[in-house]
Amino acid sequence: MPELINNKKANFGTMPVFVTAISTILGAVLFLRFGYAIGHTGLIGIFGIIILGHLITIPTALAVAEIATNQKVEGGGAYYIISRSFGLNVGAAIGITLFLSQAISVAFYVIAFAESLIPFIEIESIEYFATLLSNLGIIENLTELTNDNKINIVRTSIGLLSMSILTFFILKKGANVGMKALYFVAAILFISLIFFFLGETKYSFDQINLADKVDNPKDFWVVFAIIFPAFTGLAAGLGLSGDLKNPEKSIPRGTILATLVGLIVYFAVSIKLRMSADVNVLGDLANQFIMSDVAIWGPIIPIGLACAAISSALGSVIIAPRTLQALGNDSVFPFQRLNKWFKKERTRDNEPINGAIITSVIAFFFIFMGDINSVAKIITMFFIVTYGAICLISFLEHFSADPSYRPTFKSRWYFSLLGAILSFYLMFKVDTFYALISIGTMSIIYYYISKNNKEKGGLEKLFKGVIFQASRRLQIYLQKKDEESETENWRPFVICVTEDSFKSQDSFDLVRWISHKYGFGTFMHYINGQLSKNTFQKSKEVQNKLLSISKKKNSRVYIDTIISPSYISALAQVIQLSGISGKGNNLILFEYESTQTEELYKVIDNFHLLAATEFDVCILRKSFRSFGSKKSIHIWISPQDFENSNLMILLGYILLGHPEWNKAEINIFSVYEEGNFNQENKKLSTLINEGRLPISSTNIQLIPNDKNSRIRKIINNKSSNADLTIIGYKAELLEKQKEKLFKGYDKLGNVMFVNSASEKEIINTED
């Protein structure tokens, strides 16, 4: 059982969710890269990016609101939602990559914070700092470095220093100090945006061309990948789930409000930027602080950027350790010591201290890399996957119609489907290589975790409800079509009822062979007795044993049990079952031992029930030889049971569809009346050729009719080495001769006696 994360003091409300989300949404990307995006894609292009981004984030926000109002969302945010919906193994695969993206986000925002300080640093100060690093031996060949290289070194150094300070405060004070700081920096952030909007404009909206862009612009999808981290604030708000008093209310309200506010501000900032500067100015990375030139007081923009960056970094450094802690609490890692270490909390304030350490180490590594655009691509991929997974959960929950799914806030299935499809589509449009790396990474993690945690739900949990609904709808559809169509090509819907499931598996094997490729099979174990708690428990145990056998044999047979005080009542119930295919069963299989005829009498005595329901009836006579090497099938056709012949041939052909019989040969022996040789020969040849049956003409033998005893002697001689012999019988003869009808085949192995309720078509008349 996964350990719950509800033992800490949860004291946050809706506002922390909103502030955490909005400080990321209105963060570093907005300040540093929106002008660049407008320059390279035009105003219409940035509108497209905003719309595309929100076609993912809005359905995700609605899906989050829906899921959060259906279940108690504990620590772990997006990971908790995904793992409790998709199963722990799928959730862990996404959760680990989600944690990595959250930890990398810390680096992304710290780099952006360092970027915001560069305008305040004079070039002389940069030279001095670079000289200091050279004197300390950190930099070599100072004279060979360009000013840009020196700025990059200073930027990386500021980032590493800032990360050190951030790590100290988080490890020392935890989420509370981070949340207090978030309120302050969010206020500065909004003030800086107000100063920007109050700045003068160069053009009126009528004067600008929406499609104008720089010469040789960057590809739209490259720009989209750089901008997309601006849309990841949704996940930031989710990460506080374990610290909220009422997450089912705070999460929907906070995330939806932040998403809508962000959408409005994005459009407004884009229009203001384009009205304030030429596209060539906007598209030049050297002018990434163009918002400073527009604002009524320029320095407020780097200050706002610094606040946005540090607030986003604070948000990420708060939620990433909590995601890792949730993974540890669910024991998804193979080593329990590692799980215990990840979920460890500081006693005084329940902070996930070890998770914070791991997060900081990852952040330091990516800050050292220093390329904000490359880091943005990595973040984009992992967050798109997370958003797509959340939307997919919502869609599948709608489609599966699970009665336990009762959210108080309801989205629409088409919103969720749109978000899921767009998420996975955009992954490959942005960067196929990064998309394959992301999916490959998660697949490897899923495989490894599933291998070590087989008891934890995997992909089967994801599709269980969907398969149920799809199956239900298909069954209803097939039933309706069955009523509408008068004729159709026959296929077997076979059911077997037996008490001897564990004495011999011949009948089970025959059902699975028949149903493997061309039909459907149901294997029913009969338990004699009254329905009670004890017999019901016994039926479940029997079913589990049979399911285990079925799994080992890679069977496609549906397994069930039936409890009834008599065999005849059980049989009457079974033959009225609708079947798993959505159509009624049409063929029933019985079995009996060649040395014991007690089971045969049950069939004979109840044959009238089967005739009344128009079942095709097969009776398997088992011998000690079983089915031998499964290399040969002999089919015997006589003038007395010509109506059975097509069904017998079809069953032989159907058996060849199973891998265990695919190397077998079918031999047909046709007993003909005197003078009918040519007619019978032509009839069989036409049947085999036009029916496209894999039976060689050399495997067809015609035998003249003689007395019944003579024919049985011939069958015994010619089919003594057959692995399965198929012989027809008539209902009228069964009533007269009873068990004698099945005697006289002592030299044969397994024999299947076939009675067809109606003549089957082998040649498709529609061809």
Among the listed ranges 243-257, 480-494, 592-606, 720-734, which one has the minimum average pLDDT value? 480-494
Q: Does residue 617 share a domain with residue 571?
A: yes
Q: Is 144 exposed, middle or buried (0-12, 13-18, 19+ CB in 10 A)?
A: exposed
Q: Residue 151 falls within a domain, yes or no?
A: no
pLDDT at residue 598 in the model: 80
> What's the average model confidence in pLDDT over 170-194?
73
pLDDT band with cut points at 50, 70 and 90 for residue 128: low
Residue 248 CB contacts under 8 Å (≥ 6 apart), including other chains = 68, 69, 71, 72, 73, 408
> What's the average model confidence in pLDDT over 681-689?
70
Q: Does residue 510 share a domain with residue 447?
A: no
Q: Residue 158 falls within a domain, yes or no?
A: no
> What's the average model confidence in pLDDT over 29-56?
90
Residue 180 has a CB neighbour count (10 Å cut-off) of 11
Query: CATH code at 388?
Result: 1.20.1740.10
Torsion of CA 485, 486, 488, 492, to 10 degrees: 100
Please write down the HEC assignment for all residues of 431-464: CHHHHHHHHHHHHHHHHHHHHHCCCCCCHHHHHH
pLDDT of 384 strictly over 50: yes
pLDDT at residue 370 in the model: 60
Q: Does residue 511 share a domain with residue 632?
A: yes
Q: pLDDT for 596-606, tens place per residue?
A: 878 888 888 88
Among the listed ranges 40-49, 80-89, 99-108, 530-539, which one has the minimum average pLDDT value? 80-89
> What's the average model confidence in pLDDT over 523-533?
90
pLDDT at residue 487 in the model: 45
Q: Residue 314 falls within a domain, yes or no?
A: yes
Q: Does residue 504 share a domain with residue 398?
A: no
Strand order in the sheet with 520-528: 558-564, 520-528, 493-498, 587-593, 616-622, 750-755, 724-728, 632-637, 665-672, 700-704
Q: Radius of gyration of the chain from Cα atoms?
A: 37
Q: Does residue 361 share a domain with residue 277?
A: yes
Q: Residue 598 falls within a domain, yes or no?
A: yes
- For residues 418 and 403, the answer to whether their CB atoms sit within 8 Å is no
Short-list 112, 50, 56, 20, CA closest to 268: 50
Q: pLDDT for 574-590, tens place per residue?
A: 888 766 655 678 899 99
pLDDT band with cut points at 50, 70 and 90 for residue 243: low
> What's the average model confidence in pLDDT over 742-763?
86
Our count of domains for the chain comes to 2
Q: Residue 590 falls within a domain, yes or no?
A: yes
pLDDT of 557 strictly over 70: yes
Distance from C-alpha of 213 to C-alpha of 219, rounded to nearest angstrom: 12
pLDDT band with cut points at 50, 70 and 90 for residue 486: very low
pLDDT of 30 strictly over 80: yes
pLDDT of 395 strictly over 70: yes
Q: Does residue 25 share a domain with residue 78?
A: yes
Percentages (nearest 5) of helix, strand, coil residues in the chain: 65, 10, 30
Mean pLDDT of the chain: 79
- 575, amino acid identity: I
pLDDT at residue 167 in the model: 76
pLDDT at residue 632 in the model: 93
pLDDT at residue 269 in the model: 94
pLDDT at residue 351 in the model: 76
- For residues 765 and 629, the answer to whether their CB atoms sit within 8 Å is no
Q: Is 141 exposed, middle or buried (0-12, 13-18, 19+ CB in 10 A)?
A: exposed
> What's the average model confidence in pLDDT over 523-544?
91
pLDDT at residue 594 in the model: 82
pLDDT of 242 strictly over 80: no
Q: Does residue 258 share a domain with residue 173?
A: yes
Distance from C-alpha of 335 to C-alpha of 448, rounded to nearest angstrom: 12
Where would I find the H helices in 295-371? 300-329, 336-343, 353-369
Q: Does residue 505 share a domain with residue 451?
A: no
pLDDT at residue 248 in the model: 67
Q: In 555-713, where do the E strands start and end?
A: 558-564, 587-593, 616-622, 632-637, 665-672, 700-704
pLDDT at residue 187 in the model: 85
- For residues 679 and 642, the answer to whether their CB atoms sit within 8 Å is no
Residues in the chain: 767
pLDDT band with cut points at 50, 70 and 90 for residue 99: confident
pLDDT at residue 273 in the model: 93
Q: Does residue 278 share a domain with residue 170?
A: yes
Q: Residue 138 falls within a domain, yes or no?
A: no
pLDDT of 446 strictly over 90: no
- For residues 295 and 201, the answer to whether their CB atoms sit within 8 Å is no
Give me 89's structure tokens. 């193994």
Please write down the HEC assignment for all residues of 106-160: HHHHHHHHHHHHHHHCCHHHHHHHHHHHHHCCCCCCHHHCCHHHHHHHHHHHHHH
Query: CATH code at 502?
Result: 3.40.50.12370
Q: Residue 473 falls within a domain, yes or no?
A: no
pLDDT at residue 448 in the model: 77
DSSP secondary-structure letter at 573? H
Short-list 47, 38, 163, CA closest to 105: 163
pLDDT of 5 strictly over 50: no
Phi, psi of 319 (to 5 degrees): -85, -30
Which percentage of the chain shows pLDDT scores above 90? 15
pLDDT band with cut points at 50, 70 and 90 for residue 4: very low
Give the CA angle between residues 713, 715, 721 to the nearest 5°: 115
- For residues 21 and 251, the answer to whether their CB atoms sit within 8 Å is no
- For residues 108 and 376, the answer to whether their CB atoms sit within 8 Å is yes
Among the listed ranges 76-85, 266-275, 614-623, which one has the minimum average pLDDT value? 76-85
DSSP secondary-structure letter at 491? -
Residue found by looking up tokens 């799980």 in the block? 339
pLDDT of 676 strictly over 60: yes
Range of the structural domain that residue 84 is part of:
14-119+163-457
Q: Residue 153 falls within a domain, yes or no?
A: no
SS3 551: helix
CA atoms within 13 A on the CB side of 501: 25
pLDDT band with cut points at 50, 70 and 90 for residue 2: very low
pLDDT at residue 1 in the model: 36
Q: Does residue 521 share a domain with residue 420?
A: no
Q: Does residue 493 share a domain with residue 404?
A: no
Q: Buried (b) or exposed (e) across 397-420, using 16+ Cβ within 10 A?
A: bbbbeeeebebebebeeebbbbbb
Q: Does residue 538 share a domain with residue 444?
A: no
pLDDT of 450 strictly over 80: no
- For residues 492 and 518, the answer to whether their CB atoms sit within 8 Å is yes
Q: pLDDT for 303-344, tens place per residue?
A: 888 887 777 777 778 788 888 888 888 887 777 888 888 888
SS3 664: coil
Give the CA angle between residues 48, 49, 51 to the nearest 5°: 65
Short-list 309, 386, 390, 317, CA closest to 355: 317
pLDDT at residue 391 in the model: 85
